[in-house]
Amino acid sequence: MHALPIFMSLQGRRCVVVGGGDVATRKVTMLLKAEAAVDIVSPELCAELAELESQQKLSHIPALFSPEHLDGAVIVIAATDDEATNIAVSVAAKARNIPVNVVDAPALCTFTTAAIVDRSPIVIAISSSNASPVLARLIRTRIETMIPSTYGRLAALAADFRDRVKQRFLTTQQRRIFWEDVLQGPIAEQVLSGQEPAARLALEKLLEHESPMQNKGEVYLVGGGPGDPDLLTFRALRLMQQADVAIYDKLVSKEVLNLVRRDAEMIYVGKARDQHTLPQDEINQLLLRLAKEGKRVLRLKGGDPFIFGRGGEEIETLMEHGVPFQVVPGITAATGVSSYAGIPLTHRDYAQSCIFTTGHLKDGTVDLDWPALVRPKQTVVIYMGLVGIEQICQQLIAHGLSPDMPAAVVQQGTTSKQRVVVADLATLAEKVGQAEMKPPCLTIVGEVVKLREKLAWFDPDKSN
């Protein structure tokens, strides 16, 4: 993070803008929205600024800039087309320890203005640290379409009831859970649809009858996808943001973990072949204990929790003890990784079915259902098969697949570290060894692998 995002209260405080043209107008408009007392230093004003002056919304100092104009200012913005003036403003402001912004001159600034989504009192600021202001504005546009204009009313409702909720619920966790339920439930929908009186009445009744929220723990079994955070579902992201504690494994990417609520407790229970930070039974008991303590527990898994993610084993324990839970499917490695590798799992000319299998069983062997894996016109996707890749290839050939059958191994698919090795079954293990491939890897076997040469579209080296 190159800059600290902060929000400064400017109500009634003197802010100086040097310049009287169109660029200055944009900055003045922003300051007036923040209810600042704006003084403009400029020999002349454009028509729009002159109109604002006539309405007594700002003060005009009709002069060339002088350092004394900054006395008493809390921030200053230079918005002239004269480089010497802009430099002088920057030097004078820095000498007085006044935050200064010089439009389109990052080197002269001590602060920058952001692209803003205004849902007052909710305000969202997006900055690219001057790397790409256009991109920041494009992101703002996307956010604008996602957040209703009435979100400000929802925040105002919460502010009106804040003290009463604080009196009603004694702990921070109880209050947070209460507000999360309200702000994501029917009351919030009433506000967003313009039924604010009904929402206030419903909130009044809820506070009268709601008992203190104790032992309302819950487990969220969430699929974190194959690595790229953009592949998360909306529901997964929402639950990741409201969890008290996150339990995650080795296959969850750093980029996905960064989206978990910042103050959530993070517990790593990663698994690798023959190496377990916590045995599965202990993970099951950990989920159970934390939920019974009243916590909202995020069980975050790579891919999909029900495809080689042991999600079924975990919810069995929760169901036996009556602990509420949610399961959020994720894009499994088979679909995500194959797509980013340019290998469709089915194709009318090559494969009419697809089978997923694990590269090793619970006892650590690779004694798979080989006859089922060598059927014609199908694609075989092998999870966790890197360690046994040589034996897997030998067995597939021994049970009927051609040594020339195309195959691929994809390492850290969908991420910036994606690597792909393509070969035939006879040489795949050797080439994987030469490439020094490391977990997590996915193996794809079938005629569809031929299509990668034509369909490969994701090249992390070119995207960096």
Same domain, 38 and 53: yes
155: CATH:
1.10.8
Q: Tell me the β-bridge partners of 116.
A: 125
In a domain, 4, yes or no: no
Same domain, 27 and 121: yes
In a domain, 405, yes or no: yes
Same domain, 187 and 118: no
- Measured in degrees and rounded to the nearest 5, phi and psi for residue 403 equal -60, -20
In a domain, 445, yes or no: yes
pLDDT of residue 133: 84
State yes or no: is 39 an active-site residue: no
| Structure tokens given for 257 | 């973990």
In a domain, 401, yes or no: yes
Same domain, 198 and 169: yes
Chain center to CA of 55: 44
Q: Which of 57, 271, 431, 450 is catalytic?
A: 271
DSSP SS3 for 316: helix
One-letter amino acid of 253: S
pTM higher than 0.75: no
Read off the pLDDT of each residue in 282-304 and give the average, rounded to a whole number: 92
State yes or no: is 216 an active-site residue: no
Number of domains comprising the chain: 4
Q: Which of 249, 301, 304, 424 is catalytic?
A: 249
In a domain, 280, yes or no: yes
Domain boundary among 295, 313, 331: 331
Contacts of 181 (CB under 8 A, 6+ apart): none
Same domain, 327 and 264: yes
- Judge whether residue 312 has pLDDT over 70: yes
- Judge whether residue 276 has pLDDT over 60: no
pLDDT of residue 210: 58
Same domain, 242 and 308: yes
Read off the pLDDT of each residue in 104-127 and give the average, rounded to a whole number: 91
In a domain, 5, yes or no: no
- Judge whether residue 145 has pLDDT over 80: no
Q: Name the residue range of residue 106's domain.
A: 14-146
pLDDT tens readout for residues 348-390: 999 999 999 988 655 666 788 999 999 999 999 999 889 889 9
